Amino acid sequence: MTISQARREYLSLENPPPGFTFFCNDLACRNIPGKVEVSGVNYRVPAEEKEKYRTAHFRARQQHDAACAWVISNEPVEKSVDINDDRAQRAARRKLRDLVTVFDPRRSGSPDEGANQCARAASGRPASVAGAPSGSSGRGREGGETRTTDLDRLVDSFLEAKAKLPPSDFRSLHLQIVGKGRVLLGDYFQQVARMVEFGVSFGGIKQIVPYGYGFSLTFYDKIEGAPIRLYVPAKRLHDFRYRRFLKASVTQVIESKGALYLRVYCIGRFERAPENKGWNLIVDDLNHLVLRVMQKGRRDAVAGS
């Protein structure tokens, strides 16, 4: 289980426990009587973008086995060696908690194949983790790839890199898109007004209009002066496994009475609204809709600028 999965599962529970119990997923640690616990940090609240971006992450809590992969290389089992990984990418890995290098938007099943572990955590039973706990050795972290189908995790990775790396280092980061090719990480994220057909569209939300359990979002950005809206119908949201996860951010902003607003990251397509009254941004898979809570006054601090 990644920390992004843990946050999504926790915020999707109707009556969440005080917290989940996480164990190291390395076989050496799993064979220790009682296993090795790992702490989860910042996963029990909706993700917020602030001046200092605080990522949800795992933290070392107990001593790991000497043969544990985290101790030896701090490299998750999902990563494999890639001799083509360039110096900038390797240097960035050493500074970040989680740098996604391969993204597969063609979803099939649960993100990162973590459905069984997610189900165990949601039921209150312990789950093993698949993210490096901070405080473990950084040796060898520069090697290999980090692959995910989870857009929420990719957004976390993008925002952490944007916040922590010098601009020149950030601009050198690449992302492999399965089925498409290799692109600059920053180029894969584009402001919604640019109407990209390939990549992640993002933008701040000016207005939230509830429609029963669903909602409509109107962006600050416009296309040729016309408004852009994203509508999530009530029934569709009800049928979505992580509906409470999405609603938590929407509710937090509404209840802030103007102190907060939403920023949307999504993979979607653009359609003309009826009677040419603007544009609709259609997200066919709600797993490709990520919401981040923003402090008012930061609208111009665009993540991809």
Whether residue 234 has pLDDT greater than 80: yes
Q: Is 299 helix (H, G, I), strand (E, B) or coil?
A: coil
Dihedral over Cα of 47, 52, 57, 63: its sign: negative
Longest dimension (CA), the chain: 66
Residue 15 φ/ψ, nearest 5 degrees? -130, 80
pLDDT at 212: 94
Digit-coded pLDDT (tens) for 143-172 = 478 899 999 999 999 999 999 999 999 999
pLDDT at 269: 96
Output 228 or 60, whichever has higher pLDDT. 228
Section 11-26 average pLDDT: 72
Strands (E) across 192-252 are located at 200-211, 214-223, 226-232
Digit-coded pLDDT (tens) for 22-32 = 777 777 777 77
Digit-coded pLDDT (tens) for 237-273 = 999 999 998 998 999 999 999 999 999 999 999 999 9
**Is residue 157 classed exposed, middle or buried when 0-12, 13-18 and 19+ CB atoms within 10 A define those classes?**
buried
Whether residue 131 has pLDDT greater than 50: no
- For residues 108-147, one letter each, b for 16 or more C-beta atoms within 10 angstroms of the residue's C-beta and e for the rest, the string is eebbbebeebbebbbeeeebbbbbbbeebeeeebbbbbbb
| Local structure of residue 45 (DSSP, 8 states) | S
CA distances for 72 relative to 38, 66, 97, 261, 299, angstroms: 17, 8, 16, 42, 42
Whether residue 55 has pLDDT greater than 80: no
73-77, 94-98, 168-172: lowest mean pLDDT where?
73-77
Distance CA 203, CA 300 (A): 10
Length of the chain: 305
Taking each helix axis from N to C end, the angle separating 3-12 and 115-122, rounded to the nearest 10 degrees, works out to 50
- For residues 239-276, one letter each, b for 16 or more C-beta atoms within 10 angstroms of the residue's C-beta and e for the rest, the string is ebebbbbbbbbbebbeeeeeebbbbbbbbbeeeeeeee
pLDDT at 126: 43
Output 48 or 26, whichever has higher pLDDT. 26
CA distances for 20 relative to 6, 10, 34, angstroms: 8, 8, 16
Structural contact between residues 23 and 37, judged by C-beta atoms closer than 8 angstroms:
yes
Torsion of CA 265, 271, 277, 278, to 10 degrees: 40
**Is residue 295 classed exposed, middle or buried when 0-12, 13-18 and 19+ CB atoms within 10 A define those classes?**
middle
pTM for this model (two decimals): 0.71
Whether residue 60 has pLDDT greater than 80: no
Q: What is the mean pLDDT of the chain?
A: 78
pLDDT at 170: 94
pLDDT at 52: 54
Q: Is 178 helix (H, G, I), strand (E, B) or coil?
A: coil
Q: Is 214 helix (H, G, I), strand (E, B) or coil?
A: strand
Structural contact between residues 49 and 204, judged by C-beta atoms closer than 8 angstroms:
no
